Structure 1
Amino acid sequence: MILKAACLCLSLIFSASSLAASEEENRSEAAKAAMPHLLAPFETQISKLSASLAKAKNSTEVDALLISAGQTLWNDARQQARQTTDDRPLYWARLAITQQIRDGKLGFDADATQRNSWLALFEQNSRGIQDIRYTQGVKRILLTGFDPFLLDRNINQSNPSGLAALLLDGKFIEVNGQRAQIETAIAPVRFADFDAGFVEDLLTPYLKDPVDLIVTISMGRKDFDLERYPGKRRSADFPDNLNIKTGGTLTNPVLPLLKGKTLPGAEFVEFSLPIKNMLTVQAPFIVHDNCTISTLRQKGFCPKNLAELAKEVSVEGSGGGYLSNEISYRSLRLRDQLGVKAPVGHIHTPAIKQYDADKEAAIVQQIEEMLKAALAK
């Protein structure tokens, strides 16, 4: 087995020094009231971790506890998802633990800087990032999903992309007699993490030693969309999971950051997915090659190629103006920067309202079939 551990920049800017509860954690009580069953399988683990942290004598002990807790949570959530077809328990259990890390009792004094470093450590391990392992001699697929989002609209919202990450992680598929292994991670819905380099830190090892396919996934519209032209700028006028807006709008799109500097790169990039193969998987949901974009000069059009966009300012990529578009842009920009020829691109899944186990299971099954088609010769 080969272990590739990415050292990710998870910003986790929850508070400056007091480590007060984050906006995500502030929703926990409402989530418990609406969905009391979700955390039940994790309550013992959460209680044991709290007791162990209270007895910890130094930071080394806390590090070990949080690495173990993150890995256990990820693995337990994977197992539970196979039984319940639900991504939400992982999200809410993670928040229960991050709140403990933030303000829970320890056996020694720790400042805000130390607690923030523990938050980042726990997140890396509870998002599947440190669990990415490939068996030698197989084709390698890397897939990412997202946390649930827009939770102030629907506290019980699920995200089929996160479910796909849980159900497909570690799975082997057969493609023309060749085994392929899927490894996954789940991204936060937080602008600050993207600005801090989350995507770049996650994907760089798997582009420098290229895997056979990188697919980022998020929840989208009515059908499946393969997003041809991701755009650079943020223009969606709605918040992330910390209730932060970027200030970007359809008339004033803003540039993202990368580790304190403006994100470099062209206004648009183009996916490198094996589109013809993937478009053969048209059931139970329709799959589109979505090329529609918007610029400051023109709204809602489909360019023939990237050259046509050379002098344009991006407003919306094919995937919109939010983090789903941005994870696709960043992954492709990084691929091009590193000079890699690996197929990379983004899938928007059909949308679900709140939670729909049957529909989400069908979505994940069709994603798996698209991955098989993508690797077929």
Structure 2
Amino acid sequence: MSSIQPRAGGWLGVLLLVLGLACTRKDSPPPRALVHETYVWQRDWSPALGQAVAEAPSELGAFRVLARERSGPQRTPVDVAVDVEALARSGREVVAVMRVDGTAPLEGISLQEVATHARAWRARGVRVRGIELDHDCATGALAGYADWLARERAALGDLALSITALPTWSASPELSRLVSIPEGIVLQVHAVRAPTLFTPEEARGFVESWSRATGRPFLVALPTYRVRLRDGTRLYAEPREVARFLAGLREHPVEGVTGILWFRLGHGGDPDAWSLSTLTAVVRGEPLAPRFVPRLVDAGGGTLDIVLENTGRVDAEAPASLSLSGNLEVLDGVGGYAPRGTSLVARTPPRLRVGERRVIGFVRGTEVTLAAP
């Protein structure tokens, strides 16, 4: 029986290749974790907002705080009465933001307007990192915007500058010069094309196109809010859809994406933004299954209120129907629910934030029970 003896050089080559691959895997750094920051965009600093700043999840490394606005035909400057003490107590880094309406010309406007706020906050103990300009400049006007930005940047000293950017800028020949001026770029991928607020697929396309066009690090701004259009249509950033985009970004990173900026930090008095619980769950990649608990609460006079409570971890749309059993004498609904036989049915179920309770009807009868939704 003949045997085939492999050449020593062949075995040696295979061994070196295996060792080389092992060393490559060992020495290659793992993908960097995405940083998370949030916008504090409310114009009314209520106690509830101050509490949200104090209780924001630890993953949010910095707050980007609206400090000054210029909008409308007159470009009248408006300063936000920020709770500077709340920012200082938070101990987090802060970026002071000035918003300039996209239709407003930049002549007569200076970044020193917001830099003054930033320096004042720093003097009062806030860990100010820099400033940001939120200006939805028309793509055709980017050349002038870059000229203005370069002049303004030169006078900021040690304050880092970041700007928000639109995906529609990706095809502009002025883009390379523009993005080379600030230290940071925030790409907005929500509310870009009416009437859509956010879809994971569209956002992924925006991010990939921007990455190819610039080749520079950037943050991605994701939505946590709902908005009503002029025709009454409500658009909502569904937590599961945003989480799906985020999971895809973690599993298949895009070159240049260094982190996420959440718009905006919600609080108990802001029903159009996610609750802190929902934001925390999405940031941490936790399960987002809703949980609603129906209850019958004695309202006196033989009447029972039908109460629905969101006891889960995520803001969600309430059940479209609830069923009752027993000897029902009177059954009626409120808040969009109406009786249908022994059930309460809503054509457009309400959205309940985490911890929110809502009376959706009332009932009179004996041995009345509610079925879990």
TM-score scaled to structure 2, two decimals?
A: 0.22
Name the one with the larger strand percent.
2
Structure with the larger RCO, 1 or 2 (CA within 8 Å, 6+ apart): 1
Of structures 1 and 2, the larger Rg is shown by 2
User: Normalized against structure 1, the TM-score is what?
Assistant: 0.22
